[in-house]
Structure 1
């Protein structure tokens, strides 16, 4: 079964969820704010997406971080920051088992099978 990683208050996440529901694709929801982000789960994402693309720099969480936390991020500090603030992870993330779809735009899930 597919897993959709979201934040419930995110409009794009709601659109992604609706797109899957309308297509009848079975999926479970993992709310990053409520359910958290483990180190193992983060590493499974990073095996399939570049680290530099993992942080959502348009998020309120990013904007609210002190400047010193945003400067000179390396692989270790980026991982630590994401684990401390799971809402920094780009979303929605759809894990189909075979692929990880980062973000959502209309039509992105047209080829996702149930």
Structure 2
């Protein structure tokens, strides 16, 4: 099974998710948003599959520091893609692409069902 995990290496949730994948013996490729950025086509696909509200992390400091005008951009799926590409730390982490679909955020029970 090919698994690709997207996130930021120092994010606690990403660390927990990677540790879980390692413990399960699941091979994965890690895409570092800080070094590699976010691909607009990928972000658009994630929003199409999981919904804008799931993909946009409104609780993080990056979102909270935005101007009200920029926050309003997150309310439209098309402008949200541009905003998330500019600020990939606003993408809820981790994002996992696997043969069965996409997972966003780390929920061990959901991951066990989807990746086992």
TM-score of the superposition, structure 1-length normalised?
0.89
Q: CA deviation at 1:86?
A: 1.0
Judge conservation of contact 2:54–2:104 (CA < 8 Å) in 1: no
1:1-114 equivalence runs, <5 A: 1-71=2-72, 73-111=75-113, 112-113=115-116
CA distance in 2, matches of 1:98, 1:47: 16
Q: CA deviation at 1:75?
A: 2.3
Q: Which range is displaced more, 41-50 or 93-102?
A: 41-50
Q: CA deviation at 1:43?
A: 2.1
CA distance in 1, matches of 2:101, 2:76: 25
Judge conservation of contact 1:20–1:109 (CA < 8 Å) in 2: no
**Partner-residue secondary structure (3-state), 1:95:** strand
* Structure 2 stretches lacking a partner, 5+ long: none
CA distance in 2, matches of 1:60, 1:39: 22
Residues 5-61 of structure 1 show CA distances to partners (whole Å, capped at 9, x for unaligned) of: 111121011000000000001111011121111112212222311122210011111
* Structure 1 stretches lacking a partner, 5+ long: none
Question: Given the superposition, is the C-alpha separation of residues 106 and 98 from structure 1 closer, same or farther in structure 2, using an over 3 Å criterion?
Answer: closer
CA distance in 2, matches of 1:47, 1:26: 26
Which one scores higher on RCO, CA 8 angstroms, separation ≥ 6? 1
Report the aligned-residue RMSD.
1.5
